[in-house]
Structures are given as C-alpha cells and as structure tokens.
Structure 1
Amino acid sequence: MKGLPGVLVIHGFTATLESVRPLEAPLRALGYEVAMPVLAGHSASSPESLRGVRWSAWQRDAESSFLELASRCDRVFVVGHSMGALLAFDLAATYGDRVAGVVAATPAFRLVSLLAPGRPLHFLAPIIGRWKKNWGLRAAFTDPDFPCSQTHYPWAPTDAILSFFDLISYASGRLEEVASPVLIIHNRHEKTVLPESAEYVYKRISTPVVGKAITWLERSEHQVFCDLEKEVAIAAVTDFLQQQTECAS
C-alpha cells in the first residue's frame, strides 16, 4: 500500500524554492508528503544558467517529480505558483484523475507585460529578442523588506523569457482538458499577472462549478506565499487540500 497523499509544489519563472518554501512545514504538519523540484536553470548563482533553457525542460522536471511522488503516494495534489501553475495544469491535463486537485497561485496566463501572449504587442517579442539578450526583472512584493524578497533572479536571458511565453501559449491550449478540482489564488492589484488571468482559467477549465473556486487577496503582490497575506494564502491551500482529501475518504 502506498503512503499518505502527496503534494507537488512548483515554483515560478526565475524564482527559487524560497518563494514557495513557506508551504512546506504546514503541509508536512498535516501529514502530506511534499516534493519541491528545482526547475532547470533556476536557483543557480547567476541567471546565466537559464540561457538556452527551453520550457520543455521545465515540463520534464515537473513531470518527473510528479511521477516519483505518485509512485509513493495514494493521491497527488499539485500546487503551482505563476509559471508553476501552467505546469500544474499541464500535468492535470495529461494525467487526469491521477491529479487529485490543483492549486494555481497567480497563474501566469495573462501577464501585465504588453509583449506577453494574449497582449497587444506580443508580435514584437521575437523581434526584440533578436537584439536584446537580457531583461531586467523585479521581484514583486507589497513590502520589499519581507525576508524572502530576494528569492528571484534580477534579470533573465531573453531566450528563456520567450520560451516562457511559448509555455503560456501551450498551457492555454490545454486548459479545457483539465477536469480536476481547482483552487485559484490571485491578487486583485498585482503588477505581474493581470487579475483577469484568474477568470480566464476559471472559465476555460472543464472542472464542474462545484469543484472550482477563486480566492482573492487584497493587499499582496505576485509572491503570494512570502508577502503580507501569506498566512491567508497558505490557509487557502491547506483548507482546499484537506477538503478534497476528506471528500475522497
């Protein structure tokens, strides 16, 4: 017999595990097995490690960790932050009922950047990429003095950003294949992912209405598990997982 339910936690683009680390202790305290993979090119000493990395590598990392956790656990939930949410939905679309539920925190389907997929200047992104090799980045927090506000590369290679854009387009095309229970956590006023991204996901997935919900945060920025309302975000995750676990008992 396999062990307790598992939770795969997937960090976002250019982030480190510290951006999602606050979830680990509460999940383990509830008896969940927890896996937190480092995606290719991340958590290195320099963003240069991302140069040449394509989204398929992040997909493989997420899938490999999911399958390893599933080999040890009766049921596996997937929690993804930002880009990690795209990978979470990809897993749910691929593995169906083997994914017990998805928590998508600030799912990065509709970015504030006008160059991103679905935005008016997206057609310029590959053109700009021919001459601009690096992009400066800002880790978004309401309070920049929060202890984990330095858990993000300060810049990223443009080719990695363009590959992230490709992942957005790919994952968007798979949303209708998702029928797992889903909780979306989003901020009403953040400056990285548009709030409409939450509604976009809610409407596109095939999960029945009774199995999907949106939790809105009012004061946080993009790094929801490290910012002013991190306790609210973490409680939303644990409550959702516990509810789904009890329903399956």
Structure 2
Amino acid sequence: MIGCMCIHGFTGAPYEVEPLVDYLKEHTDWEVAVPTLPGHGDELKLKGIAYHKWIEHAEEELKGLIDRCEKVYVVGFSMGGLIASYLTVHYPVDKLVLLSAAAYYINPKQLFLDINDMAKDAFRGNLADNEMFVRYKRKISATPITATLQFRRLVASVRPILNQVTVPTLIAQGESDGVVPPRSARYLYKNIGSSAKKLIFLKDSKHLICHSEERDQLFHAILEFLKKKPA
C-alpha cells in the first residue's frame, strides 16, 4: 500500500488541496490523508497556537501512514510545503511535492495587479464575485498578528534544513501567484539537497494552484512524478 499526505497552507483548510486529493483517489488506490492543522479549517482559531503544534499534528498523521503503508509520499501547499519538507528530513518519506511552497512570501508585482483587479471590480459593483477578495477577506480579519509571527518562525526554522532533503522532489509554482513569488520556487530548487529534483512553472496560475485552470496539467505531472520508478 502507498500512502500520500497532502498538507494545506497557513490560514487554510483541506479545500486548498481537495482537487488534487480527488484526482489521486480517482487515479490510484493509495491511502490519501489530509490533516487539518490546529486552529485551521472552516473556522479559524489561531490565537495562542505555536507553529510547532502545526508540525506535531502533521507528524502524528504521517506516523500513522508510515505504520500502515510500504511507501509514503508527502505533498505540501504553501506553508504546508515547509512542513512537508521538515517531515521529509525527519521521517522515511519516499518522495516530496511542493506546491506554491512559501520559502518566501508576498509577490509585490502580482499582488498590485490583483489589488488593481479588485479595485476595478469594486468600481463596477462586482467585488463580491472577485475570487481573490472572497477567499482572503475572511482570512485577513480572522488572523491575529501572533499567528502570522508563528508562520514566519516556521519558515525561518525550516529554511536551514532544506539541504537535508535528499528524496526525489517536485516543485510547482504559479507565475501569477500574488502570495508566494516565483523566486520562492527557485530558492527551493537551489537549496534542496536532493539530486533528483524538478521545477515546473504554470504561467497563469495564482496562489491556489490546485484550483487553477492549469490544474489538470499540474495533477498529471504530479502523478507521473510520484509513479515514476527511481533510475
């Protein structure tokens, strides 16, 4: 049995990776685990939660998969990519997939374009239909500053151990991502220690890469990578 764990991002929930999870379930017989990190989910309750609690929860889920499965893959989206990298260093993970992984965050140029689109939609009276506005309005108001600091601490703690990631790694990044800039993917590709690593960019994809119009192309590449036998 093969196990695959998919980890959502900061202030997110399993819905962020749900299209990929559905794809993997449709095309494989793998056990797919999708944990909800402490304080996350449909209702955010992040106050007072330290970043190591997010890691510990993912660790417990991973240990269960390792006990039940012969091989285990880990997929991490955004902050989940940093957690996935940490797990890969400390546990017997066979392959790693990083999606819009937040080694760096906030892409000023793209964020300006997204805000400009929001302003246009607001002027037309269509702001409620703007995907970026709808997805992030609630998050901004429900995220305490202390939680953001914990997110930054997590990123700072994982960056120095990226060179200890030695398993085959696939890194995917949207070029139109206003939250995580393309340089984050390049940084990961440069600093991850694996000799078997691949970097792909999706031209029109924004941050929620699993919900992008290019998701079919992405999911095919992920499954092909995970199923490929080592050379």
Instruction: Give the counterpart letter for 2:66 in structure 1.
Output: A
Deviates more, 1:152-161 or 1:5-14: 152-161
2:202 corresponds to? 217
* Distance across 1 between alignment mates of 2:5 and 2:151: 20
**Candidates 207, 216, 221, aligned match of 1:231:** 216
2:139 corresponds to? 153
Deviations 1:5-32 (A, max 9, x none): 1101000001111111111222123111
* Distance across 2 between alignment mates of 1:85 and 1:241: 16
1:104 corresponds to? 98
2:230 corresponds to? 247
* Superposition TM-score, scaled by structure 1 size: 0.78
Distance 1:191 1:150, change over 3 A: closer
Contact 1:16–1:38 (Cα < 8 Å) also in 2: yes
* Distance across 2 between alignment mates of 1:85 and 1:18: 16
- Please list every run of 5 or more consecutive structure 2 residues that lacks an aligned counterpart in the other structure: 109-117, 119-128
- 4+ residue segments displaced more than 6 Å: none
2:80 corresponds to? 84
What's the CA shift for 1:69? 0.6
Identity %: 32
What's the CA shift for 1:247? 3.4
What's the CA shift for 1:153? 2.7
What's the CA shift for 1:93? 1.1
RMSD: 2.3
Contact 2:107–2:178 (Cα < 8 Å) also in 1: no
1:187 corresponds to? 174
Whether 1:12 aligns to 2:9 is yes
Contact 1:16–1:151 (Cα < 8 Å) also in 2: no
* Superposition TM-score, scaled by structure 2 size: 0.84
Deviations 1:77-132 (A, max 9, x none): 0000000000000011112xx11110000110111278xxxxxxxxxxxxxxxxxx
Contact 2:86–2:158 (Cα < 8 Å) also in 1: yes
- Please list every run of 5 or more consecutive structure 1 residues that lacks an aligned counterpart in the other structure: 115-137
Q: Identify, as 1 or 2, the structure richer in helix.
A: 2
* Distance across 2 between alignment mates of 1:57 and 1:78: 18
1:34 corresponds to? 32
The size of the alignment, in residue pairs, is: 209
Deviations 1:159-179 (A, max 9, x none): 000000000100101101110
Distance 1:144 1:73, change over 3 A: farther
**Aligned positions of 1:164-183 closer than 5 A:** 164-183=151-170
2:69 corresponds to? 73
* Distance across 1 between alignment mates of 2:184 and 2:214: 20
Contact 2:89–2:164 (Cα < 8 Å) also in 1: yes
Contact 1:104–1:184 (Cα < 8 Å) also in 2: yes
